[in-house]
Amino acid sequence: MKLYEELLEKNKLVEETKEYLKNILDTFPEMVFVYSDRDDMVFKNRRFEDEADDEDLINEAVKISKQVIETGMRRIGEYEKNGVFYSITSEPLKHENETQAVTTIVNVTSTKELERLKELDRMKMEFISNISHELRTPLAAIKAYSETILTSLKDLDTDTLKDFMDTIYNQSRHLEELLNELLDFSRIEQKALKLEKIMVDVVNLCREAVNSMMEYARSKGVELFFETDLDSLVMLVDPKRLKQVLFNLISNGVKFSKKDSEEKYVKVSLSKEDGGVLIVVEDNGVGIPEDKKDRIFEKFYRIDSSLTYEVSGTGLGLTITKEIVELHGGRIWVESEVGKGSKFFVWIPIEKVQNDGDGGQDSGEG
């Protein structure tokens, strides 16, 4: 009888301990469950009972739990749906000769947003540093050459003076381009970048853009050429902005060419495709890592900060390019392989008639 009472007492103690532990787990802000090797949940805390209403999330957590039971090793996974992020952690547990998995599900959306904001702040600081450098460089050259002319004008021969003036002019144009990019970016941020569409032969437009970049490419040892089977294609576009797209893509192809390559090229091709015009700018340069391709059109984003001072520019070119293409109703994407080069695709629908209210007469100048 005494033994029976002791067993009852111990059983009561076990039940009380289990209830105590359950009460503790019920206070956790995380969703917690225990999964057994019999393919069922042997425990769920209150948070799980109340909030686990996403079947896909539960299935993902169960899948990770099964992996833990199979391998006996801790597993961590992530799940995202409609901008809500969850972290899933599962640990192996031995209980009465049975392998189980204790799995925790945590909503980490706020943490992800904080990480995103911190990354954006870091990119902004790099952007400001880069812009400061880019603006100082032409200003320093203009100041130095101007001071030399002012203080030594009588000592300078005509050829030297011409060289100095050419440098001042070229650096002034470079400075103007930088400021125009900053102005365009400001318009994009304010949703104020507008198009001034007119009927234009885009074949001639592309050819003119390529020809105007030819000398720049040649100075960098890069062959630049244009290919198309079309004689003419007249459509409604903003010629200034479309040329800006081409200048940005060609310039990037030239700037990011491989230094040690003997045959460097940038090829621009034009064709009709899917009711629109397809422009492809291809190079055999350094290429873009696979995990960076989706981010290169983001504002402030630069693939490698070590290139910031090596390659000139604001780093806003692709952001502006994407905005111009999308204002035309088109899209832009890239295919690339590190060490082999990149292909940028620009598709714009063929528009023949000015749409009402598209704001075509406002070029966004001023």
Q: CB neighbours of 145 closer than 8 A, spacing ≥ 6?
A: 164, 167, 168, 171
Calpha distance 102→32 (Å, rounded):
7
How many CA within 13 A on the CB side of residue 69? 22
Indicate whether 68 pLDDT > 80.
yes
Indicate whether 308 pLDDT > 70.
no
Express each pLDDT in 232-251 by its tens digit: 999 999 999 999 999 999 99
For the chain, report the end-to-end CA distance as a whole number of angstroms.
99
What pLDDT is recorded for position 126? Answer: 65
**Edge-to-edge strand list for the sheet holding 41-44:** 41-44, 31-36, 98-107, 84-95, 75-81
3-state SS, residue 193: coil
- Confidence class of residue 115 from pLDDT cuts 50, 70 and 90? confident
User: What percent of the chain stands above pLDDT 90?
Assistant: 40
Express each pLDDT in 1-29 by its tens digit: 555 565 666 666 656 666 767 777 778 88
Q: What is the mean pLDDT of the chain?
A: 83
Indicate whether 38 pLDDT > 90.
no
Which of 332, 301, 347 minimizes the C-alpha distance to 124? 301
CB atoms within 10 A of CB 256: 18
Q: Which residues pair with 91 in a beta bridge?
A: 102
SS3 per-residue string spanning 280-337: EEEECCCCCCHHHCCCCCCCCCCCCHHHCCCCCCCCCHHHHHHHHHHHCCCEEEEEEE
CB distance 264 to 222 below 8 Å: yes
- Confidence class of residue 349 from pLDDT cuts 50, 70 and 90? very high
Express each pLDDT in 137-187 by its tens digit: 778 888 888 888 888 888 888 888 888 888 888 788 778 877 887 888 788
What pLDDT is recorded for position 269? Answer: 97
DSSP 96: T
Indicate whether 63 pLDDT > 50.
yes
Q: CB neighbours of 113 closer than 8 A, spacing ≥ 6?
A: none
CB atoms within 10 A of CB 253: 27
- Confidence class of residue 204 from pLDDT cuts 50, 70 and 90? very high
Average pLDDT on 335-356 reads: 84
What pLDDT is recorded for position 363? Answer: 37
Distances (CA, A) of 211 to 62, 259, 268: 60, 23, 11
Token duo for residue 207 = 């050819």
DSSP 256: T
Calpha distance 92→106 (Å, rounded):
18
What pLDDT is recorded for position 93? Answer: 87
Indicate whether 352 pLDDT > 50.
yes
Of these ranges, 215-219, 303-307, 362-366, the one predicted with the greatest mean pLDDT is 215-219
Domains, the chain, in order of start with CATH, read 2-107 (3.30.450.20), 112-189 (1.10.287.130), 198-349 (3.30.565.10)
